[in-house]
Amino acid sequence: MRRTLALLSAVALLAGCTADEPTVRDDTHKAAAGTLRVLAGSELADLEPILEDLTKATGVRVTLDYTGTLDGVEQVTSGTAGKDHQAVWFSSNRYLELQSGASGRIGTQTKVMSSPVVLGLKQSVAKSLGWDAKRPSWQEIADAAAAKRFSYGMTNPAASNSGFSALVALATALSGKGTALTAEQVGPVTPKLRQFFDAQALTSGSSGWLADTFTQKGGVDGLVNYESVLLSLNAGGKLPEPLTLVYPADGVVTADYPLTLLSGADAEVKDRYQAVVDYLRRPETQKTLMERTSRRPVAPGVALAERFGGGTLFELPFPVKLDTANALIDAYNNVARRPSNTIYVLDLSGSMNEDNRLAGLKTALLGLTGADTSLSGRFSGFHQREQVTLLPFSSAPRAPSTFTVPPDAPGPVLDQIKGAVNGFQANGSTAIYDAMREAYRIARAQQEADPGRVTTIVLLTDGEVTAGANLKSFTDQYQKLPAATKAVPVFPVLFGESAVEEMKALAALTGGRTFDGRTGTLSAVFKEIRGYQ
Amino acid sequence: MRRALSVLLAVVLIGGVVTAVLLGRDSDEAPGATTVHGVIGSEKLPFFADPDVVVAFAKHGLTVKVDPLGSREMAARDPKTYDFAFPSSAPTAERIERQLGTGRHYTPFSSPMAVATFAPVAELLASRKLAAKDPAGHWTLDMKAYLAAARDGLRWGDIPNSAAVALPSRHVLVTTTAPRASNSAAMYAAVAGYLANNDRVLGDEAQAKAVLDRVGPLFRDQGYLETSSGYPFESYLSQGMGYSPMVWIYEAQYVGAKVKPEMALMYPSPTILSQHTVVPRTDGGDKVGNLLVNDPELRKLAARHGFRTPDTGAALPALTQTVPPPSYDVLEALLDALQH
């Protein structure tokens, strides 16, 4: 609706101009008027107000349809992005350009703004480490992390560009080579990566959720995130303690937000694209972008505001080969990160027999055992060292089964998971909260067995609670859990006729978030959740 | 006519979408003007988008619309879609002439390849005898010594006194664009190939393959490479040393830009000339080439954009050592091999 209004006012503006000087104004706007449909990274949502101004000034309406990092890459390389969109706009094209299928799919790209991925630490913590006064190297940061002198949250590198950028910067700096990282260098540097990730206490599939969770719950000393996100957090005034931005002395990897035309654009689309990038790169727009979104201007001639880190910020080389990038992500998932306890609470009540729901659930879970060979499937499968618990329920919790994926030869265990999933049968009623109580019991036991693990719970149910405890009584019991167990988030999947408000309340209570499985496939949702596990 | 011009100019100014005017709209033509379509190297886009250039062409009854393309894209483009091609190098022009079966071309201006850097960096390089400053204050980068240092893996921190300058812990490497996608990087490969081939222009594909071991790491070790020469120079201007201490550019980019006092330009020795060559396909295209060569106003405007024209004279340093590029086919063979 807001967009429609913006368009109307642009039309009104045009009409007004036409009355004064018909020839001039009419032509100018007709040239570019129309819509540029853009497939975009979700972190660009903060640009919407600026894009409304753009429509008023140029007549071009820019619509952003949001997608995740790997999804976006897949859509471009497979060609599906081009069906509904004329351009893509992600935080970076570097990983995309490593894909063999990308070169024929993308055309002109224009960088619009930039933001380095850096570490933001609570002022007091940064001060105690001396990093408020002197920039540490990545090695010093990794050493302090290994000594547990600070904890932090970071997005999953397979799911989000900010996490991947940090991983690349860290690995490149720690390799000590001074050139772009190669696949052979990933193995030797992995033990050092592990030191750094020892201190990671919060993970997420998106930079925005990570920032929101940090604001609401705290729980960690800081975040690895875009400079723009960290500066915005400071400016938001909701943090109990401001963050000190720590710029690693040996360099960063910077998001550069290239607005990228997809191949095959005709002359009209090219005109619209050009009008859009010209507007975005005008000095006054660059200044607005800097002031409102805390991203750095890229067009020369716009001075950087003081709140951005002064001094020279070195850009580290980005790998040139896809196998290097993929080896890094695999090293993170299988070796360097803290292993996870992943608990699935799965509704197998009778209603799951409707509409192929059970089949959809099975496909989604089997996809995580290696059946999904797509790009996103490759990284979202169960990782080495991961402990996966399946807790089906209907009228009551059924017997849970727990599997630990071994570092070597994970095949047989993945086959066991497949077997368990294939054996699911749906019948009975829906005792959601009895199952949730059981899930937290399991979580607590698993935490006690190995406190170093990251524990999360996914809840999939297609209906309202019809048996056992209700949300209220579950909440009362949840509140009595030890703090570490209470910190285990629940990620409810909205599905079928599930009680949306209750699911949202459950997510809010536990510090999780809901995912919508009603419109897309459960497979897509389960893959998205992998970024949070 | 004058009124038509002022309307056209008003459209440009009020719209603020200068390039859109040039990129394929029919409604902005001055009445009676002929529209001529060109495919050009992207570094010449600011020239064609300059309102003064638009007016200068309009005085001769021409509306010039341009589509910026990489050299390979240009060679692959169906010639029927343009009136002239305006690549940035002689090899690409040669290839297009062959395609069109024409021997006709114009070379209105040129620009040597150069390295944008910073005075303290040039001084450091000079301390290692990699660079030198002549009495007139012009810097040269000794390409042979530089290639040897790059091959040996010299890092900034290895140079004595480098600690006084904030430098990255990276290898001493000039930042370029991707050779397959961008002409400026292809010119870099041509210079490096010449030196690696014992100071001889690469003569055939076998020679191009033979220098691969020497030329390949110059690109590979840099990591990700941008596809267009605009961004690296823009980043040099806005981010300074943090982006890169040395960036491979067209001299024209530097001359036409507002640079800061600590910035400096080094001329590689030897360097290579980017010959901006108009290959006309139609009479309209021919007129564009002719005007660029002969119209005093357009020549002046080209000089304002930093290009070397016959009028340049002593305004820009004389080039002592330049090497010719290899033929199109040999250069293609080298670039293809570099991509793999």
What's the pLDDT tens digit per position in A83-131? 999 999 999 999 999 998 888 899 889 999 999 999 999 999 999 999 9
- Could you give the CA distance from residue A148 to residue A150 in angstroms, rounded to a whole number? 5
The number of C-beta contacts closer than 8 angstroms across A and B is 122
Contact A269, A260 (CB under 8 A): no
For residue B321, CA distances in Å to B12, B208, B273, B325 come to: 42, 22, 10, 13
pLDDT of residue B31: 59
Taking an 8 Å cut-off on Cβ atoms, the answer to whether B244 and A315 are in contact is: yes
Contact B12, B57 (CB under 8 A): no
Residue appearing with tokens 């070796």: A335
Q: Provide CB contacts within 8 A for B312, sequence distance 6+.
A: B303
Q: State the pairing for strand pair B247-250/A340-347.
A: unpaired
Q: Which of A250, A278, A312 sits opposite B241 (nearest CB)?
A: A312
Q: Which whole number is the average pLDDT over A393-421? A: 96
Q: Which of A94, A274, A317 sits opposite B20 (nearest CB)?
A: A274
pLDDT of residue A399: 97
- Among A464-478, B280-294, B314-328, the range scoring the smallest mean pLDDT is B314-328
pLDDT of residue B45: 86
Tell me: cis bond preceding B68? Omega within 30 of 0 counts. Answer: no
Nearest CA among A45, A107, A439 for reference residue A263:
A107
Task: Look at residue A513 and tell me whether its pLDDT is greater than 50.
Answer: yes
Residues of chain A contacting residue B225, judged by C-beta atoms under 8 Å apart: 320
With b meaning 16 or more CB within 10 Å and e meaning fewer, what string describes A119-133? bbbbeebbeebebbe
pLDDT digits 0-9 by tens, A278-287? 999 999 999 9
How close A298 gets to chain B, by Cα (Å)? 7
Which chain A residue's Cα is nearest to B68?
A108
B200 touches chain A (CB under 8 A): no
Residue appearing with tokens 């620009």: B111
Taking an 8 Å cut-off on Cβ atoms, the answer to whether A180 and B241 are in contact is: no
Task: Look at residue B5 and tell me whether its pLDDT is greater than 50.
Answer: no
Selected residue with higher pLDDT from B152 and A71: B152
pLDDT digits 0-9 by tens, A450-467? 999 999 999 999 989 999
Taking an 8 Å cut-off on Cβ atoms, the answer to whether A32 and B20 are in contact is: yes
Kindly report the length of chain A. Answer: 533
pTM score: 0.88
Q: Which whole number is the average pLDDT over A383-393? A: 97
Task: Look at residue B185 and tell me whether its pLDDT is greater than 60.
Answer: yes
Number of CB atoms found within 10 A of residue B259's CB: 15
Contact B305, B47 (CB under 8 A): yes
**What are the residues facing A373 on neighbouring strands?**
none
Taking an 8 Å cut-off on Cβ atoms, the answer to whether B24 and A311 are in contact is: no
Selected residue with higher pLDDT from B339 and A438: A438
- Helix (H) / strand (E) element for A88: namely strand A87-89
- Which bin fits B160, alpha (ψ -120 to 50), beta or left (φ > 0)? beta
Nearest CA among A457, A525, A528 for reference residue A488:
A457
Residue appearing with tokens 């990087």: B185
pLDDT of residue B168: 86
pLDDT digits 0-9 by tens, A162-197? 999 999 999 999 999 889 999 999 999 999 999 999
- Could you give the CA distance from residue B154 to residue B146 in angstroms, rounded to a whole number? 9
Cα separation of the two ends of chain B: 55
Task: Look at residue B300 and tell me whether its pLDDT is greater than 80.
Answer: yes
Q: What is the DSSP letter of B137?
A: S
Q: Taking the mean position of all CA atoms in its chain, how far away is CA B63?
A: 24
Categorize the per-residue pLDDT at B303 as very low, low, confident or very high, splitting at 50, 70 and 90.
very high
pLDDT of residue A421: 97
Number of CB atoms found within 10 A of residue A187's CB: 11
CA atoms within 13 A on the CB side of B118: 17
Contact A167, A336 (CB under 8 A): no
- Among A273-277, A299-303, B174-178, the range scoring the smallest mean pLDDT is A299-303
Q: Which whole number is the average pLDDT over A291-307? A: 91
Categorize the per-residue pLDDT at A529 as very low, low, confident or very high, splitting at 50, 70 and 90.
very high
Selected residue with higher pLDDT from B25 and A428: A428
Nearest CA among A127, A478, A375, A267 for reference residue B82:
A267
Taking an 8 Å cut-off on Cβ atoms, the answer to whether B220 and A178 are in contact is: no
Portion 88-127 of B in contact with A at CB < 8 A: none
* Token reading at B323: 């090497």
Number of CB atoms found within 10 A of residue B283's CB: 10
- Among A9-18, A162-171, A419-428, B21-30, the range scoring the smallest mean pLDDT is A9-18
Task: Look at residue B147 and tell me whether its pLDDT is greater than 50.
Answer: yes
Task: Look at residue B165 and tell me whether its pLDDT is greater than 60.
Answer: yes
pLDDT of residue B18: 36
Q: Provide CB contacts within 8 A for B189, sequence distance 6+.
A: B179, B215, B218, B219, B331, B334, B335, B338
pLDDT of residue A449: 96
pLDDT of residue A327: 96
pLDDT of residue B30: 52
pLDDT digits 0-9 by tens, B56-91? 999 999 999 998 887 777 888 888 889 999 999 999
Residues of chain A contacting residue B27, judged by C-beta atoms under 8 Å apart: 27, 30-31
Taking an 8 Å cut-off on Cβ atoms, the answer to whether B21 and A31 are in contact is: yes
Residue appearing with tokens 């009355």: A19
Q: Which of B27, B221, B257 sits opposite A27 (nearest CB)?
A: B27
- Could you give the CA distance from residue B132 to residue B119 in angstroms, rounded to a whole number? 11
Which of helix, strand or coil describes residue B64?
strand
pLDDT of residue A310: 75
Categorize the per-residue pLDDT at A22 as very low, low, confident or very high, splitting at 50, 70 and 90.
very low
Which chain B residue's Cα is nearest to A168?
B223
pLDDT of residue A70: 84
Categorize the per-residue pLDDT at A32 as very low, low, confident or very high, splitting at 50, 70 and 90.
low
pLDDT digits 0-9 by tens, A354-386? 989 999 999 999 999 998 988 888 899 999 999
Task: Look at residue B230 and tell me whether its pLDDT is greater than 80.
Answer: yes
Q: Which whole number is the average pLDDT over A316-327? A: 95
